[in-house]
């Protein structure tokens, strides 16, 4: 039930934040244009999705950086920092629709790929490069003749926009179809690659590409909602490391930059040595293995 609970939260959040049904109906407005679009969701969610009722934080950040008048984005950056300090990558594990989609794809019964450390570790740094170059650097410094930058990440890499915005909008609005170009083809290729990889690798976009996950990961060690390990209670069985879908060692580093706080380790720990909550205190789930902590 606890495992299903996270899926229910993820799905519920996805529905709640994409609840503008009129966007999906023929003849209605293509996207929601109401007051809630002043606010960002904490996870990746394209604001051009016909159902989206909030703004995408990465899109909003790039829009601020690429604007004609370069301005420090106090509002969006303050919001993302506050979310990061409060919850870190808990957002990735619980409040990201694209994360849920990848998890569901991974459930397709096929042989799974667990990359060895050598390509895995350097590849995980790629998301920081994406954040620095595509979300901040290029939109800020690469300008067209009118002095306006491009949202490079959204435009060339983000598969979320293609899946949640591009495909439904093109299907629902005939007027948009003549605008299809090589760019849409490229973005479709990125999306197909991401979907295919998700069948074999657990959340590959989150592990290697997502700039939002990269940003939140900076706050993992100081976030208020956090993981905690009771070293005295730990029996060193290694179960937590074995069950971790993100290949983290919760005992060695309970607040690793890669942990999405899915709490699989908390549930699996036979000694109840791991906990999750405010300051690390809170959730200590029972399991069937029956060994009690101190």
Partner 1 sequence: MKKEVKPLLSLVILAAAVGMCIFGAVNGEMREVFMKAARICMECIGLG
- The reply to whether 193 sits near partner 1 by the rule CB under 8 A is no
**How far is Cα 212 from Cα 154, in angstroms, rounded to an integer?**
12
- From the list 98, 120, 255, the residue with the least C-alpha distance to 201 is 120
Q: How far is the CB of 49 from partner 1 (least distance, A)?
A: 9
| Of residues 75 and 128, the one with the C-beta less far from partner 1 | 75
Residues 274-293 within binding reach of partner 1 (CB under 8 A): 279
SS3 for 278? Answer: strand
The binder of partner 1 chosen from 92, 134, 154, 240 (CB under 8 A):
154
| Structure tokens, 159 | 């598969």
The binder of partner 1 chosen from 118, 144, 181, 288 (CB under 8 A):
181
Please give the backbone phi and psi of residue 251, each rounded to the nearest 5 degrees, phi first: -75, -45
The binder of partner 1 chosen from 92, 96, 158, 248 (CB under 8 A):
158
Contact present, 43 and 73 (Cβ < 8 Å): no
| Biggest CA pair distance of the chain | 67
Residue 27 burial by Cβ neighbours in a 10 Å radius (0-12, 13-18, 19+): exposed
| Of residues 92 and 251, the one with the C-beta less far from partner 1 | 251
Tell me which residues touch partner 1 (CB under 8 A): 30-35, 37-40, 46-48, 52, 54-56, 59-60, 63-64, 67, 71, 73-79, 81-82, 85-86, 150-151, 154-155, 158, 161-162, 165-166, 169-170, 176, 179-181, 183-184, 186-188, 219, 221-224, 229, 231, 251-255, 279
């Amino acid at each position: 039930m606890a495992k299903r609970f996270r899926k229910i939260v993820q799905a519920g959040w996805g529905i709640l934040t994409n609840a503008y049904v009129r966007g999906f109906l023929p003849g209605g407005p293509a996207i929601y244009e109401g007051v809630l679009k002043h606010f960002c969701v904490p996870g990746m969610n394209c604001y051009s999705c016909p159902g989206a009722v909030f703004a995408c934080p990465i899109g909003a950040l790039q829009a601020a950086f690429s604007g004609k008048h370069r301005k420090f984005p106090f509002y969006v950056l303050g919001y993302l920092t506050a979310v990061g300090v409060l919850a870190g990558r808990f957002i990735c594990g619980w409040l990201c629709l694209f994360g849920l989609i990848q998890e569901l794809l991974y459930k397709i019964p096929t042989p799974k790929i667990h990359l060895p450390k050598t390509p895995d570790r350097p590849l995980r740094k790629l998301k920081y490069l994406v954040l620095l170059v595509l979300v901040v650097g290029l939109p800020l410094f690469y300008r067209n003749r009118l002095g306006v930058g491009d949202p490079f990440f959204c435009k060339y890499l983000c598969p979320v926009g293609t899946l949640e915005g591009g495909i439904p909008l093109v299907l629902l609005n005939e007027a948009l179809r003549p605008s299809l170009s090589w760019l849409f083809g490229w973005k479709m290729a990125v999306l197909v690659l991401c979907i295919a990889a998700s069948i074999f690798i657990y959340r590959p976009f989150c592990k290697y590409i997502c700039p939002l996950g990269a940003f939140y990961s900076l706050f993992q060690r100081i976030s208020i909602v956090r993981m905690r390990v009771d070293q005295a209670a730990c029996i060193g069985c290694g179960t937590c490391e074995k069950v971790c879908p993100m290949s983290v060692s919760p005992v060695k580093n309970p607040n690793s930059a890669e942990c999405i706080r899915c709490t699989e380790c908390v549930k699996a720990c036979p000694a109840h040595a791991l906990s999750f909550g405010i300051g690390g205190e809170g959730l200590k789930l029972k399991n069937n293995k029956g060994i009690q902590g101190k």
